[in-house]
Copies of this chain bind each other. A is one copy, B any other.
Amino acid sequence: MSYVRGLAVAARDAQAAIASADGATRRRLLQSMAEQLRAGQAAILAANADDLAQAAANGASKATLDRLGLDPERVQGMAEALREVAAQADPLGEVTRREVRPNGIVVERQRIPLGLVAMIYEARPNVTAEAAALCLKAGNAVLLRGGSEAARSNAAIAACLHAALRELGLPEAAVSLVADTAREHVLELLQLADLIDLAIPRGGESLIRFVAEHARVPVIKHYKGVCHLYVDRAAGIDTAIGLLIDGKASRPGVCNALETVLVHRDIAAAFLPRALAELHARGVEVRGDAVTRAFDAGALAATEDDYAAEFLDLVIAARVVDSLDEAIAHIRRHGSDHTEVIATEDPAAADAFVRAIRSSAVMVNASSRFNDGGQLGLGAEIGISTTRLHAYGPMGVESLTIERFVVRGTGQVRHPR
C-alpha cells in the first residue's frame, strides 16, 4: 500500500471511533487539544523558528513569512479558537426533520459525519489546529496536507493534537498529517475517491485550480472574491460611505473586501465627490469609467480587466450605472458569487437586488466584511464555498455533516402479502 493510501486507510478506520464518541467526549477532546497547544507552545515556537529560518533562506516572500510566523499570541489564539469550537453545540445526531407517513413509518432526517476530510493548504500553521478541531467536532477524521514551508510547525502542532487524542483514548490516526509534502503524494491523495469524502483546498487561486483540476474526490472550493457595493439612487449617503470605506480600506487583502463600487447616476453627484475624497485620504487608487472620472481628476481609466479583478490591495474599480438592472447585469458578468452589497433606503430596491443576485452572501446596508463564519454566527470556519453545492458561503461545523434518513416502523412493507 502506498504512503498516502496507508495514511488514508488508517484515518478512515480511526473515524469510526470519533463518530461513535459522544458529544461530551468530543468536546473534552477539543478542550484537551487546546490545553496541549498551550503546554506545547515552546516546542511549537522552536519548530516554527526553524521553519521561518529555512523559508527566509529559500527567499520566501514577506507575505509567506507573515502567514508562516507564530508567536505566543498566535499560539494562544489557536488554543482559544479550539475552545470556541469545543463550546459549540454537538451537530451529530440532530434530527432536523421528522414526518409520520400514511403507512405509519416515522421518517427522520439525522445529521451524521461526512467521514474523511482532506485539507490541502499553504504555509498557515493555524489551519492545522483549526481544521482538525472542526473536523473532529463533526465526527470526521482529517488528512492534513499543509505547505512544505510549515512542515516542522505542523508536526509540532500535530504532536499536541495527538497527545489529546491519546488522553481521551481515541486513535491518533483521526488526525493524520501528510508529513512528506512531495507533490506526487497530493496528486495521489486527490485520486482516493474510495476513501476521501471531501477535499477542501485553502490558499491562493493557483493551489485551488491545481486541486480542482486533478481531483477525483469531491472538492469544495472558492477561487476569489470580486465583491461589489451598489450604491442605489435611494442610498443613505453616510451608510454608503461607511460600507465603501469598511469594505475597501479596513483589510484590502482578504476575499470579502470590495473590489468594485457601482453608483446609480441619480446619486452620483451627491455620493461620488465625498466617496472619492475618503478613498484618496486612505491611499486607495480609483479606476473609474468616464462619469466617475469627471468627478475626480486623479482617477485612472478602468479597463474591462479591472472590473473582473480581485485587487487584494488598496485599489477599487468604480462605475456609474443608469439603473438597478444595469448594476445587476454588471455583477452577473463580472462577479465571483462571493459577496455583493446594496446601500439603499428603498425596500423594493433591496428586495429586487436580493432576488436577482445569486452570490453566496447578499448584504443590504451591511458591510461585505461580514461574510465570515465568525461574523455570521457559525463560530470558526473551515473554508468558504462559492460553488452552489453542499455549502455556499462560509462553512462551519455543520457543513462537515450530512443528513441521512432514519426510518422506524413496526414491520411495514411496501407490498403487503
Contacts and interface: CB of A to CB of B under 8 A. Distances in A.
A358 interface: yes
A250 interface: yes
Contact of A404 (B198, B251, B360, B364): B360
B20 A355 contact: yes
B107 A413 contact: no
Contacts of A379: none
A412 B370 contact: yes
A350 B245 CA distance: 58
Nearest to A387: B218
Contacts of A62: none
Main secondary structure, interface of A, reads: mixed
Interface in A354-390: 354-356, 358-367, 369-371, 375-377, 387-390
A301 interface: no
Contacts of A197: 387-389
Interface of A: 16, 19-20, 99, 101, 105, 107, 112-115, 193, 197-198, 212-213, 216, 218, 236, 238-239, 242-243, 245-247, 250-251, 332, 350, 354-356, 358-367, 369-371, 375-377, 387-394, 402-417
A19 B354 CA distance: 12
A48 B363 CA distance: 51
A362 B406 CA distance: 5
A112 B367 contact: no
